[in-house]
Structures are given as structure tokens and as C-alpha cells.
């Protein structure tokens, strides 16, 4: 597949044959902060069900700004939809259950006394009955291999364990798409490998913002590259990673070939 970049960016949109609805669709999204800084310029892409997509680019590229639009924390010009549901004020409670946002620092996400309380917070807030809340918590913790940690104090866990619990807090809501910001940041090699295996096994649509190009190389067949608020590439990861000059031009480094 040819490399797609610069002014020739074309998003890899899922086929709409048979009226298949993309899990996430972003159309002509632009955003400026109150100080006038234009953080996003006409961003367009869509992600189909089950796709795992990496979002990469240098600091200041607009990745975090884009991600904050996906559950309505920021609102720019253009349109966004999750499973066909427009991201609009009246839809935000439902949208936020469909978009499982996992922040870089798990301490920003874990604030309850125990692991169970953290994972149960979302379902309780949505008004699910106690029995279903308990089922959702048990299922989510099992998915991240933390089933025996329900009664543990969240702030006593290792950083790797905290990241797993943070993922469980959104899995308990049965999201349409999992959105992660720098999931491997701060992890030692063993915890990083454990996280990679977890993300590989989760049967979910994913959009993952990261500087960890070895993680991208190993897990994400498709890569979206942003720079200065614009999409400059959207294509096959293996092809884009071979274009060393392109990576360097956009503040990225070619990963060392071999086992991470």
C-alpha cells in the first residue's frame, strides 16, 4: 500500500457497503483555543469496528486536543459521531459511556477507596441495578487480569496495576471504542509487556495516542500521523515506518528493529 501523507492525506474509511456504520467518524474538525491558537485544522478520518489505530505525532501536534473532542470535553467546528451517534450536548451521557477514555496518568482516573469502587463508579452513575453493577465490575476486572484485586486500595497498587484498573473502569461501561493516551508511559519492561499483551487480546476498537513507536510497530496495523494540528498521514504502519525521512520531518523516530 502506498504511503499517504502531506497534502495527499486520504483517510482509510471503512466500507459503507451494506450500511456498515463506522465506530468513530471525524469530519472536518477544527478547533482554536481562547488565546487564538489553532490546534486542529480540518481533521478527517473514520475507524471501523475492531480496528486498532495508533495516533502519533510530536508534542503540540494536536493529539490530546483531538482526543478531548471524542467525549465532548472540547467542542470545535466540524462533526464527530460514535456508532452513528453525533457528539452533541444532548448525547453526552451516552457518548461518554461509548467512548472509553483512559488517561496517561491513572491517578487522574482512580479516586475511590477500593478497586471495586473505582470500576463500579461508571455503572452506578448510569443507574444500573446493584446486581448488574457487580457483574460488570467482575467482567471488567477479569478482562484486565485483576479479578482478585476488588478489595485492594487503588493508591497502593503499582503503576502497571493502576493502568489495568483504569482500563477496567471504562470496560465496565461496555464502550464502543477504547481511547488511550500514552498507555505505556512510566512502565517498566515487564509491566509494558503485560500491557501490550492485554491490548492485543482485548476485542475492542481502539485509538491509542503514543510516542512509543515500538508499541505502534507491534500492535497497530494502521497509523495516523498528526503535526501542527493537521493529519499528515493515515496509512499502513509498516509502510509509514519505512519512510525514515517522513518520520524525521514530523518529529518521529524509526524504532529499532527487533523485539521490544
Write out pLDDT tens, residues 3-30.
444 434 433 444 444 456 799 999 999 9
Query: Of the candidates 33, 36, 31, 101, which has an alpha carbon nearest to the alpha carbon of residue 66?
Result: 31
**Residue (of 153, 180, 156, 177) closest to 166 by Cα position:** 180
Would you state the pLDDT for residue 126? 87
Q: What is the pLDDT of residues 209-227, one digit of tens each?
A: 999 999 999 999 999 999 9
Residue 242 confidence (pLDDT) above 70: yes
- 77-107 burial by CB neighbour count: b if 16+ within 10 A, else e? ebebbbbeeebeeeeeeebbbbbbbbbbebe
User: What would the pLDDT profile of 67-106 be if each residue is shown by its tens digit?
Assistant: 999 988 999 999 999 988 998 888 988 898 899 999 999 9
Domain 1-83+178-183+203-260: state its class: alpha beta
Task: Characterize the bridge pairing of strands 85-86 and 77-82.
Answer: antiparallel
What is the pLDDT, as a whole number, of residue 21? 78
Contact between 160 and 194 under an 8 Å Cβ cutoff? The reply is yes
pLDDT of residue 129 exceeding 50, the answer is yes
Q: What's the confidence (pLDDT) of residue 256?
A: 62
Helix (H) / strand (E) containing 1: none
Q: What is the enclosing helix (H) or strand (E) of 233?
A: strand 230-236
Q: How far from 132 is each of 110, 124, 126, 169, 189, CA to CA, in Å?
A: 21, 9, 11, 15, 36
- Please state, in angstroms and rounded to a whole number, the distance separating the CA atoms of residues 225 and 183: 17
**Mean pLDDT (whole number) for 56-73:** 93
| Percent of the chain residues topping a pLDDT of 90 | 76
Identify the pLDDT of residue 17. Answer: 44
Q: pLDDT by residue (tens digit) across 106-123?
A: 988 899 999 999 999 999
- Please give the mean pLDDT across all residues of the chain: 88
Q: Determine the pLDDT at residue 14.
A: 42
H-helix segments, the chain: 63-69, 92-98, 115-125, 130-143, 159-171, 189-201, 213-219, 237-241, 244-249
pLDDT of 20: 60
CA distance 38 to 3: 27
**Contact (CB, 8 A) for 123 and 154:** no
The sign of the torsion formed by the CA atoms of 243, 212, 119, 202 equals: positive
Are residues 67 and 53 in contact, defined by beta-carbon separation less than 8 angstroms? no
CA angle 102, 226, 17 (to 5 degrees): 80
Whether the predicted pLDDT of 53 surpasses 90: yes
Q: How confident is the model at residue 255 (pLDDT cuts 50, 70, 90)?
A: low
- Alpha-carbon distance 200 to 47, whole Å? 17
For the segment 152-205, what is each residue's pLDDT rounded down to a tens digit?
Answer: 998 899 999 999 999 999 999 999 999 999 999 999 999 999 999 999 999 999
* Residue 40 pLDDT exceeds 50: yes
For residue 174, the model assigns a pLDDT of 93
Neighbour tally for 69: CB within 10 Å: 19
Amino acid at each position: 500500500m502506498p504511503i499517504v501523507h502531506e497534502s495527499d492525506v486520504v483517510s482509510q474509511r471503512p466500507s459503507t457497503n451494506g450500511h456498515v456504520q463506522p465506530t468513530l467518524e471525524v469530519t472536518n474538525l477544527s478547533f482554536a483555543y481562547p488565546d487564538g491558537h489553532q490546534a486542529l485544522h480540518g481533521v478527517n478520518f473514520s475507524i471501523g469496528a475492531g480496528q486498532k489505530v495508533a495516533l502519533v505525532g510530536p508534542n503540540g501536534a494536536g493529539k490530546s486536543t483531538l482526543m478531548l473532542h471524542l467525549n465532548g470535553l472540547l467542542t470545535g467546528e466540524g462533526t464527530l459521531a460514535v456508532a452513528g451517534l453525533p457528539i452533541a450536548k444532548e448525547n453526552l451521557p451516552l457518548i461518554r459511556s461509548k467512548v472509553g477514555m483512559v488517561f496517561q496518568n491513572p491517578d487522574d482516573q482512580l479516586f475511590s477507596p477500593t478497586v471495586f469502587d473505582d470500576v463500579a463508579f461508571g455503572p452506578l452513575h448510569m443507574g444500573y441495578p446493584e446486581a448488574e453493577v457487580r457483574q460488570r465490575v467482575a467482567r471488567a476486572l477479569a478482562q484486565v487480569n485483576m479479578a482478585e484485586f476488588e478489595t485492594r486500595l487503588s493508591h497502593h497498587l503499582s503503576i502497571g496495576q493502576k493502568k489495568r484498573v483504569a482500563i477496567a473502569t471504562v470496560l465496565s461501561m461496555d464502550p464502543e471504542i477504547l481511547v488511550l493516551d500514552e498507555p505505556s508511559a512510566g512502565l517498566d519492561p515487564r509491566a509494558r509487556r503485560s500491557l501490550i499483551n492485554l491490548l492485543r487480546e482485548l476485542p475492542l476498537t481502539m485509538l491509542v495516542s503514543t510516542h512509543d513507536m515500538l508499541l505502534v510497530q507491534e500492535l497497530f496495523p494502521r497509523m495516523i500521523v498528526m503535526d501542527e494540528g493537521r493529519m499528515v498521514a493515515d496509512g499502513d504502519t509498516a509502510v509509514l515506518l519505512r519512510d525514515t525521512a517522513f518520520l524525521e520531518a514530523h518529529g518521529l523516530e524509526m524504532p529499532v528493529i527487533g523485539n521490544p
